[in-house]
């Protein structure tokens, strides 16, 4: 065996920079993706056929094509149409649109899982559809949506490594660069793996807290 983590210790600041970039990418694209997902999910359950169709086309395209292709179109393809995005912009946009498409389906099924009687009770008390959605359906749906959303978020964080291919120096690409000077593949990739694991564990811990807070009414 010939493992030597000490040779890569001097690169720790670089790892931390890369991890920080991954965290930034993830937080921004998850936040935008979640907003897109909520908007998309509401469109999917809307009474307007136009809205439903827009949401359908969106999820159809972004769930039906590889993230890598989406990122390459945004970064390498769009300039041909005169739209030039910075790598970071293209990366955020791609990850957010992709995450949003999956979140749309999760939000839709979360809303549809709530008994129809809840909205009927709200309506019969004089609440508008939007107040009913915000005050009655939303809180109940978000509770059941948390576990699948967390799954999706974890997937997005892992998928963020793909933006290394559109030249963003996030965690994975940073590691690759370090390997080219140290030739320590095993050490570098394991460290990268551990960092992803730490980021995702933090996310799971936060989600666990949130879920517990929201299920106050479940204790009997």
Task: List residues near another protein by CB under 8 A.
Answer: 115, 117-118, 120-128, 131, 135-136, 139-140, 143, 214, 216-220
Compute the least distance from the CB of residue 116 to another protein, in Å.
9
Distance CA 166, CA 185 (A): 21
Which residues, in sequence order, are CB contacts of 78 under 8 Å at separation 6+?
84, 85, 90
Cβ–Cβ under 8 Å, residues 214 and 140: no
Of the pair 123, 158, the CB lying nearest another protein is at 123
Compute the least distance from the CB of residue 23 to another protein, in Å.
32
Compute the least distance from the CB of residue 39 to another protein, in Å.
22
Of the pair 128, 181, the CB lying nearest another protein is at 128
Cβ–Cβ under 8 Å, residues 156 and 98: yes
Distance CA 15, CA 12 (A): 5
Short-list 118, 103, 114, 121, CA closest to 144: 114
Of the pair 68, 114, the CB lying nearest another protein is at 114
Of the pair 82, 213, the CB lying nearest another protein is at 213
Compute the least distance from the CB of residue 138 to another protein, in Å.
10
Of the pair 57, 131, the CB lying nearest another protein is at 131
Compute the least distance from the CB of residue 38 to another protein, in Å.
18
Burial class (CB in 10 A: 0-12, 13-18, 19+), 152: buried
Distance CA 105, CA 37 (A): 8
């Amino acid at each position: 065996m010939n493992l030597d983590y000490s040779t890569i210790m001097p690169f720790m600041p670089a790892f931390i920079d890369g991890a920080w970039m991954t965290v930034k990418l993830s937080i921004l694209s998850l936040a935008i993706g979640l907003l897109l997902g909520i908007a998309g999910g509401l469109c999917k359950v809307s009474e307007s056929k136009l809205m439903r169709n827009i949401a359908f086309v969106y999820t159809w395209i972004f769930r039906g094509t590889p993230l890598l292709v989406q990122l390459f179109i945004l970064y390498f393809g769009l300039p041909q149409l005169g739209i030039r995005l910075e790598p970071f912009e293209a990366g955020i946009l791609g990850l957010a649109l992709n995450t949003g498409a999956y979140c749309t389906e999760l939000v839709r099924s979360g809303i549809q899982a709530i008994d129809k009687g809840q909205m009927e009770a709200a309506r019969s008390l004089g609440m508008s559809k939007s107040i009913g959605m915000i005050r009655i359906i939303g809180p109940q749906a978000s509770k059941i949506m948390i576990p699948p959303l967390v799954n999706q978020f974890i997937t997005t964080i892992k998928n963020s490594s793909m933006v290394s291919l559109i030249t963003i120096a996030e965690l994975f690409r940073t590691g690759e660069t370090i390997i080219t000077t140290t030739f320590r593949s095993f050490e570098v990739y394991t460290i990268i793996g551990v960092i992803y694991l730490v980021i995702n564990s933090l996310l799971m811990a936060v989600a666990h807290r949130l879920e517990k807070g929201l299920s106050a009414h479940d204790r009997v």
